[in-house]
């Protein structure tokens, strides 16, 4: 026990008091934390009352932290929604025009705010990215759990984790200097477009799907696999007929999480997609997504104008889609558990 | 003609091997490409001098400093909050509606797109609290972005502590809070610390949440002025600060310096190396602490 207490002053101990001034609230917790270590000899004498007080303060501190989480999410929804809905209620843009219009010219005369090109752009890039990444992820997961577990754990796992850690601007930079010129040399056009965005995104969401697929593969009951082998099935038959159907629900969860991540990704996509506000006729033509147009235009519009508010409406679409994705994931998880 | 089962099996195995090595090859060439293009740019001058707008020879000194300083500020705010909420989830929460609700909150919060977090920061911290484009506004936005992850890390770390250790603490007559701070937290420290370092790597590379909170410009900094209240001091938390990741984005999309591509490559290499460092550092530290604390070999 004593050995275990050694690191306490260095670790969480120094994080806590630092919090007190930054946050203002839990100085009671901070003071309390300093108490026992400072007054060590006096500790046995501490009355029952001060002990229950410290217990109470500790619990209050953790509750405050939780309250901050809840306040954050509510204020986020409230603020973004109030700005985003102002487009429709204050500026009188019709919702159906916003969601189905294909002409985006906020500075035009008269201005039109059709966001459909961005909505389709976002869906197209993220779903296409998932279509590329899902089979690759399944292969990687099977490789790591079935074919070469040792190599997979020691080498492949860290590699995938590393992929997850690379910042999105770096992906964008590589996309811009490798993927785009490559596409330009093969296909007609500038190389910028949905295809380039989807390729970059597919590498970015690969770790998400792979880690979920790997988890579900290694959690499969042993009997399932061994039963199949015992019947004389080859490895491929086992994988395709008994393993794949068993992990399909959780694979799907991973795919939805991947799509959600791709849908919200801003800078990497913005750098390679070309940013023209039209629905492209091919995958190799310049397009836009919800995130890319917000990124580019937010700094150039004046607060409280319709041009600015409509960008908040786009953000609101992103926000609503986040809830939809979380809902789908929860639904899939519930079904997988059954 | 029907393929024999054995042939199908061999082909499938080959396909699995192919894709697995394809992924490794993609990562290797990704990192190789960035280092190949970027390492040549990195020099002491590049790392310490301010960027140039129209001329060649600009560096990334202020941006690098901003990134590190912002990381520290963010962690100072996030770590205590995240650990507090994580403790609640692991120790105080009872199964029920409220706990399910908090779980949902953490899940939704962690899946918000970072650009939306940035916009929220713009509205609330930059405009409403009138922090302007500043390091503090950026740190608060990154807190929103990072907090759910910290909560999960802490909760997992504390739940990973063997039951007996916790019960021993309680049996000795410690209060629940004392058991948490004196037994559970120290024991779960390696897990929490490794998770925190990984989260720090994520914060370090984040850009979308910072565009409209920490800003896209950096004032002339006077690195001899360490008074946090002075507007040219690097330590002033209320000055605008362009981080390294934002800088990469900016010069890629609107850079006019003739050597913009080289600077982007160099800055990307610095970013990648830092993230690698965080990654390896957390692994090493986790293993080191685990060995030190648990008396296993």
pLDDT-derived band at B294, boundaries 50, 70, 90: low
- Give the closest of A57, A75, A143 to B124, CB-based: A75
Phi and psi at B34, nearest 5°, equal: -65, -45
Nearest to B113 among A22, A270, A318 (CB): A318
Whether A54 and B107 lie within 8 Å, measured CB to CB: no
Do A26 and B120 make contact, defined as CB atoms within 8 angstroms? no
Residue A71 has pLDDT above 90, yes or no: yes
Confidence (pLDDT) at B8? 84
pLDDT digits (tens, 9 = 90+) for A132-141: 999 888 888 8
Q: Which residues lie below 8 Å from residue A252, measured CB to CB, with a gap of 6+?
A: A332
Q: In terms of CA atoms, which chain A residue is nearest residue B260? A: A173
Does the structure show a pLDDT above 60 at B223?
Answer: yes
Give me the pLDDT at residue A74, please.
Answer: 93
Read off the pLDDT of each residue in A144-152 and give the average, rounded to a whole number. 81
A128 pLDDT higher than 90 = yes
Peptide bond into A110 cis (omega under 30): yes
Average pLDDT of the residues of chain B: 84
Question: Across the interface, do A136 and B105 touch by the CB < 8 Å criterion?
Answer: no
Q: Return d(Cα A234, Cα B261) in angstroms, integer.
A: 51
**What is the reported pLDDT for A218?**
85
- pLDDT, averaged across chain A: 79
Chain B residue numbers with beta carbons less than 8 Å from the beta carbon of A203 are: 26, 30
* Nearest Cβ partner for A291 among B87, B113, B289: B113
Q: What pLDDT is stored for residue A23 in this prediction?
A: 38
pLDDT at position B57 is 67
Contact A237 B9 (CB under 8 A): yes
- Banded pLDDT at A323 (limits 50, 70, 90): very high
Q: Which of A5, A65, A309, A320 to mutate to test the interface with B (most CBs of B within 10 A)?
A: A65
Average pLDDT over residues B255-261: 72
Q: In which band, very low, low, confident or very high, does the pLDDT at B295 lie, cut at 50, 70 and 90? A: low
CA distance to partner chain A, nearest, from residue B158 (Å): 13
| Residue whose entry in the numeric block shows the structure tokens 């209050």 | A60
Cβ pair A225, A243 in contact under 8 A: yes
pLDDT at B216 over 70: yes
What is the rounded average pLDDT of the residues B161-185? Answer: 86
What radius of gyration do chain B's Cα atoms show?
23
**Cβ within 8 Å, pair A167-B178:** no
* Percent of chain A residues topping a pLDDT of 90: 17
CA A55 to chain centre: 36
What was the pLDDT predicted at A41? 46
* Band (A48; pLDDT cuts 50, 70, 90): low
State ipTM: 0.87
Structure tokens at A231: 């019947």
Give the C-alpha separation, B36 to B210, whole Å.
Answer: 28
Mean pLDDT, range B131-157, rounded to an integer: 89
* Nearest alpha carbon to residue A52 among B32, B142, B211, B173: B173
Q: What is the pTM of this model?
A: 0.83
Q: How far apart are CA A129 and CA A200, in angstroms?
A: 8
Confidence at residue B282, expressed as pLDDT on a 0 to 100 scale: 83
Which residues of chain B make contact with A5, given a CB cutoff of 8 A?
A: 182, 186
Q: Which two tokens stand for residue A154?
A: 């020691």
Does residue A44 or residue A211 have the better pLDDT?
A: A211
Q: Do A326 and B104 touch (CB under 8 A)?
A: yes
Identify all chain B residues contacting A165, using CB atoms and an 8 Å cutoff: 198, 201-202, 205, 275, 278-279
Give mean pLDDT, residues B112-133.
87
B210 phi, psi to nearest 5 deg: -100, -15
Average pLDDT, integer, range B92-101: 88
Measured between CA atoms, how close is A197 to chain B, in angstroms? 15
Q: What is the mean pLDDT of residues A120-135?
A: 91
Which spans in chain B are helix H? 5-38, 44-48, 61-87, 97-111, 114-121, 135-159, 163-171, 176-179, 185-205, 244-254, 260-294
> If you measure CA to CA, which chain A residue comes closest to B276?
A162
| Closest Cα in chain B to A155 | B24
Query: Given this model, what pLDDT does residue B41 score?
Result: 78
Domains defined for chain B, CATH in brackets: 42-294 (1.10.3720.10)
Task: Give the residue from chain B lying closest to A235, CA to CA.
Answer: B9
Confidence (pLDDT) at B19:
86
- Among A306-310, A313-317, A326-330, the least confident range: A306-310
Q: Return the percentage of chain A with pLDDT > 70, whole number.
A: 85
B256 or A223, higher pLDDT:
A223
Mean pLDDT within A101-128: 84
What was the pLDDT predicted at A37? 42
- Pairwise CB contact (< 8 Å): B23 & A140: yes
Residue B108 has pLDDT above 70, yes or no: yes
A-B contacts (CB, under 8 Å): 299
pLDDT tens readout for residues B9-60? 888 888 888 888 888 888 888 888 888 888 877 778 777 777 776 666 677 8
CB contact under 8 A, B175 and A55: yes
| pLDDT over threshold 60, residue A45 | no
Is pLDDT above 80 for B123? yes
Residue A15 has pLDDT above 50, yes or no: no
CB contact under 8 A, B252 and A176: yes
In this prediction, what percent of chain B has a pLDDT beyond 90?
13
Is residue B77 very low, low, confident or very high in pLDDT (cuts 50, 70, 90)? very high
Is the preceding omega at residue A233 within 30 degrees of 0, hence cis?
no
CA–CA min distance B232, chain A (Å): 23
| pLDDT confidence of residue B143 | 92
The pLDDT value given to residue A22 = 38
pLDDT for the residue numbered B151: 92
Residues 6+ apart with CB under 8 A from A17: A30, A33, A34
**Cα gap B176→B185, rounded to integer Å:** 12
Please choose, from the candidates B58, B133, B236, B128, the residue with its C-alpha nearest in 3D space to the C-alpha of residue A78: B128
- Gap from B251 CA to chain A (nearest CA, Å): 10
């Amino acid at each position: 026990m004593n050995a275990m207490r050694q690191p306490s002053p260095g670790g969480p101990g120094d994080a806590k008091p630092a919090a007190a001034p930054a946050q203002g609230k839990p100085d009671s917790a901070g003071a309390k934390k300093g108490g026992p270590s400072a007054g060590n000899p006096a500790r046995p004498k501490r009355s029952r009352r001060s002990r229950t007080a410290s217990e109470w303060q500790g619990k209050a501190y953790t509750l405050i932290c939780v309250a901050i989480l809840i306040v954050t999410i509510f204020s986020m929804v409230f603020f973004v929604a109030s700005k985003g809905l102002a487009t429709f209620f204050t500026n009188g843009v019709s919702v159906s025009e916003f969601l189905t219009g294909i002409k985006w010219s906020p500075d035009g005369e008269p201005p039109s705010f059709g966001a459909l090109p961005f909505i389709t752009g976002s869906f197209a890039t993220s779903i296409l990215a998932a279509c590329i990444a899902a089979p690759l992820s399944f292969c990687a997961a099977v490789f790591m759990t079935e074919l070469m577990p040792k190599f997979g754990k020691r080498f492949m796992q860290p590699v995938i984790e590393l992929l997850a850690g690379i910042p999105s601007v770096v992906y964008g930079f590589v996309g811009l200097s490798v993927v785009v010129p490559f596409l330009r040399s093969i296909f007609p056009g500038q190389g910028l477009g949905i295809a380039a965005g989807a390729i970059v995104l597919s590498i970015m969401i690969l770790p998400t799907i792979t880690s979920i697929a790997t988890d579900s593969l290694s959690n499969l009951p042993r009997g399932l696999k061994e039963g199949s082998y015992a019947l004389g099935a080859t490895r491929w038959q086992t994988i395709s007929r008994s393993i794949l159907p068993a992990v399909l629900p959780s694979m799907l969860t991973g795919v939805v999480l991947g799509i959600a991540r791709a849908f919200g990704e801003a800078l990497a996509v913005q750098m390679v997609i070309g940013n023209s506000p039209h629905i492209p006729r091919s995958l190799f033509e310049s397009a836009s997504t919800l995130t890319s147009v917000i990124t580019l235009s937010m700094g150039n519009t004046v607060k409280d104008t319709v041009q600015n508010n409509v960008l908040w409406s786009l953000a609101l679409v992103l926000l609503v889609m986040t809830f939809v994705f979380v809902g789908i994931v929860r639904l899939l998880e519930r079904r997988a558990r059954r | 003609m029907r393929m024999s089962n054995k042939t199908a099996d061999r082909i499938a195995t080959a396909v699995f091997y192919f894709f697995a090595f394809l992924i490794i090859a993609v990562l290797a060439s990704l990192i190789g490409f960035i280092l190949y293009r970027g390492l040549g740019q990195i020099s002491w001058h590049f790392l310490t001098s301010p960027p140039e707008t129209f001329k060649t020879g600009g560096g990334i000194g202020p941006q690098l400093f901003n990134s590190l300083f912002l990381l520290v500020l963010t962690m100072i705010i996030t770590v205590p909050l995240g650990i507090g909420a994580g403790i609640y989830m692991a120790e105080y929460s009872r199964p029920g509606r409220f706990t399910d609700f908090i779980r949902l909150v953490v899940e939704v919060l962690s899946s918000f797109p970072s650009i939306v977090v940035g916009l929220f920061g713009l509205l609330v911290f930059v405009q409403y609290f009138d922090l302007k484009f500043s390091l503090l506004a950026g740190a608060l936005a990154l807190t929103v972005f990072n907090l759910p992850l910290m909560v999960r890390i802490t909760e997992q770390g504390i739940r990973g502590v063997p039951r007996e250790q916790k019960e021993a603490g309680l049996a000795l007559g410690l209060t629940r809070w004392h058991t948490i701070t004196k037994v559970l937290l120290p024991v779960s420290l390696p897990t929490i610390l490794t998770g925190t370092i990984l989260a720090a790597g994520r914060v370090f590379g984040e850009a979308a949440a910072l565009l409209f909170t920490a800003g896209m410009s950096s004032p002339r900094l006077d690195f001899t002025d360490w008074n946090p209240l002075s507007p040219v001091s690097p330590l002033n938390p209320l000055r605008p600060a362009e981080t390294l990741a934002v800088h990469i984005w900016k010069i890629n999309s609107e850079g006019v310096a003739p050597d913009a591509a080289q600077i982007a490559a160099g800055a990307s290499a610095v970013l990648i190396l830092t993230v690698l460092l965080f990654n390896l550092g957390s692994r090493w530290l986790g293993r080191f602490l685990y060995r030190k604390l648990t008396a296993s070999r």
